[in-house]
Structure 1
């Protein structure tokens, strides 16, 4: 296995990681901003108010995007990794 091939597979794996984590991170960011704005407008400084909506939104998005994540990882494994293992 050449150095270029290793770097190419690593680059592709990192891009897959970005694609898979983007929906969860985006929802966490949006939920955090919305809850922060709500807290600033109402002067409610409850610690659980920041945690519970974020976790709930992230669980919902994870449940919805689980098939996308699985298909992406399986596709990467079957198209990139298995041929490299089988090829030598």
Structure 2
């Protein structure tokens, strides 16, 4: 087991985590920005106004992209489990 192999595993784990988390984070940021602009324009400073739409948007994104995220995570897990013999040696 070489350092290059370990670094490639770490890199693949980070890329997979970022790929799976990116849609949720991007949608949450966009919804938050839109609501912040709305709050600045209307002078409404209610905290729940930002929380509820973000949660709804995140739930919708997880329903839409959930199967794709699951496929990415299952593929990564399968690759790690098939490479476990190389790691143990």
Under a length normalisation based on structure 2, what TM-score does the superposition of the two structures give? 0.91
Structure 1 distance, partners of 2:70, 2:40, is 38
Structure 2 distance, partners of 1:55, 1:30, is 13
Q: 2:54 corresponds to which residue?
A: 54
Instruction: Report Cα offsets for 1:29-65 as digits up to 9, x if no partner.
Output: 1000010011011111111001110111011101111
Structure 2 distance, partners of 1:43, 1:12, is 45
Q: Which runs of 5+ in 1 are unaligned?
A: none
Moved >4 Å (runs of 4+): none
Q: 2:20 corresponds to which residue?
A: 20
Under a length normalisation based on structure 1, what TM-score does the superposition of the two structures give? 0.92
Q: Which runs of 5+ in 2 are unaligned?
A: none
* Aligned residue-pair number: 87
Does 1:31 find its partner at 2:28? no
Deviation at 1:20, TM superposition (A): 0.3
Q: 2:84 corresponds to which residue?
A: 85
Structure 2 distance, partners of 1:31, 1:85, is 41
Deviation at 1:74, TM superposition (A): 0.8
Deviation at 1:3, TM superposition (A): 1.6
